[in-house]
Structure 1
């Protein structure tokens, strides 16, 4: 597979002539990613897949977020944006995903925590919201509409949407849960190192949301233990971990599974990619059920609601 000729021509207008043939980069599920050289620049082309707007992705917001993150020194520089072809071009960095264990330890853990807090506190307001209960409702409606009615939605998905609303209500009103710019997709593949520094990439789900979603999403997607969560919170806030903060992070791990599980449900209906979205959804919804069965879960809801 190669990038469409129209995309190549549009990028050449901004960066110079293409040198050689683009090569496919792996790792993406919703996009097509290529490494290429235009003029003197070694770049990554990110071209949106089909119907990604149905997943709540706003390419203009992605551009704003990636540009802001690059200015903060936590993402590769944005070199071009071709909105008519849903293509974002960033500088290529020779970096690889950080292994789970390394991510949970210094120096990576505090560096990622500082990077997230910098984005949360210094990036400009983004033009979209990232509201998990609203996303859950939208995904369920879309799955029913595009699929076989209620049979397109597993029963656990409805329970997940109700849980998202309950968690959001528990933390509502606390100043630490005020809307801030967030990444919202901190999978292992999106947290990279070049051996000298950490890079956060793939900002397509970025929006105004709850900073604790970023922390919980990072935690559950990268195998953090409860001790790791406390270390993450201490690094992020530069202060001892409190019961309220710990509870909020544990709840947002569940909120992350809500989003991932229902994302898998809707992708199974709308996507034409060769990927087992049903298994992906089942993994997250099953883990969500196990988490809510933890006898401490109700206590976390109580502690997170404490002023």
Structure 2
């Protein structure tokens, strides 16, 4: 007899039962779940689920028109990235609900000393693949959208900031998005868009990229700068990362483009964190994150005009 969502053990997270209620097809994919663990993450609700047919990662999110990102674009792009071995292949993805299932990746390890090289090579494979992703990553448009939303929630944000003068300085960062580099006119490449450590799964001698919500076509410097900043590469690690990227066929990016884009990445990350606070998420987590990213962006911006 086919299972129904009421068969999901009551001891498991309520969100799991809701997911099977929204998408009964999950029973055919996973079987009846018997255990689930909530995974850490800033953006999405992710469960590691042990079920009749194996061990899976289940991403739950808002889908359809209410989603903060285009789930249909995400589905298209992650399938293409999986075809070339960069992304973990989805075995179920439903843009209307924001639900995504992948099998648990075997052989995962804590990232080691070869992290910069592995990530650089995998990123070059993506950028030189010739894939045509849906959507464009335009940092200026992203910043302006976040700035508008954050400014509209200014009153709610003031108490959350470690430095209340910070809100008065945010507008100064807009100048970063007017600074000219040398990538203007260069063809954009398929890009992940959000290369934080939580979106990079390291296995023996390779790295898998997950969470393709913000993927699209972008300048090469976007993924490179974002990876360097979010992984906290020092000068030596950054050099190894870029050398591995170029050694795998990735084209060299000018130092000016890279430094400008680093500051832009930090500005956008900080604005995103402030927006999370305005939505009622944990200020103790997101306020320090926003402050650190803004400080780094301001310091980086001093050399640009």
TM-score w.r.t. length of structure 1:
0.80
Alignment of 1:109-148 (within 5 A): 109-122=116-129, 124-148=131-155
Deviation, structure 1 residue 265 = 1.9
Deviation, structure 1 residue 6 = 4.1
Distance 1:185-1:244 versus aligned 2 partners, 3 A rule: closer
Deviation, structure 1 residue 184 = 1.5
- Partners of 2:291 and 2:65 in 1: CA distance: 21
Matched, 1:75 2:87: yes
Stretches of structure 2 that go unaligned for 5 or more consecutive residues are: 1-12, 160-165
Determine which structure has the larger helix proportion and give its number. Answer: 1
Deviation, structure 1 residue 119 = 1.4
Distance 1:38-1:65 versus aligned 2 partners, 3 A rule: farther
Residue deviations 1:161-188 (CA, integer Å, cap 9, x gap) = 221232xx3235242xx32221111112
Is residue 48–residue 57 contact of structure 2 (8 Å, CA) maintained in 1? Answer: yes
Which of 265, 276, 301 pairs up with 1:256? Answer: 265
Matched, 1:66 2:75: no
Alignment of 1:136-175 (within 5 A): 136-148=143-155, 154-166=167-179, 169-175=180-186
- Partners of 1:121 and 1:171 in 2: CA distance: 19
Residue deviations 1:247-286 (CA, integer Å, cap 9, x gap) = 3222221121111111112222124456532221111011
- Paired residue for 1:305? none
- Partners of 2:185 and 2:89 in 1: CA distance: 34
- Paired residue for 2:19? 7
Is residue 130–residue 207 contact of structure 1 (8 Å, CA) maintained in 2? Answer: yes
- Partners of 1:255 and 1:131 in 2: CA distance: 11
Is residue 47–residue 86 contact of structure 1 (8 Å, CA) maintained in 2? Answer: yes
- Paired residue for 1:186? 195
- Partners of 2:123 and 2:51 in 1: CA distance: 31
- Paired residue for 1:36? 49
Matched, 1:93 2:100: no
Count residues in correspondence: 284
Is residue 24–residue 34 contact of structure 1 (8 Å, CA) maintained in 2? Answer: yes
Is residue 15–residue 41 contact of structure 1 (8 Å, CA) maintained in 2? Answer: no
TM-score w.r.t. length of structure 2:
0.81
Helix, strand or coil for the counterpart of 2:194?
A: coil
* Backbone CA RMSD of aligned residues: 3.1
Stretches of structure 1 that go unaligned for 5 or more consecutive residues are: 302-307
Residue deviations 1:216-269 (CA, integer Å, cap 9, x gap) = 111111222233333322221229999962332222211211111111122221
Is residue 164–residue 258 contact of structure 1 (8 Å, CA) maintained in 2? Answer: no
Distance 1:276-1:23 versus aligned 2 partners, 3 A rule: closer
- Paired residue for 2:223? 214
- Paired residue for 1:20? 34
Is residue 98–residue 191 contact of structure 1 (8 Å, CA) maintained in 2? Answer: no
Distance 1:240-1:119 versus aligned 2 partners, 3 A rule: closer
Deviation, structure 1 residue 135 = 0.6
- Partners of 1:72 and 1:130 in 2: CA distance: 21
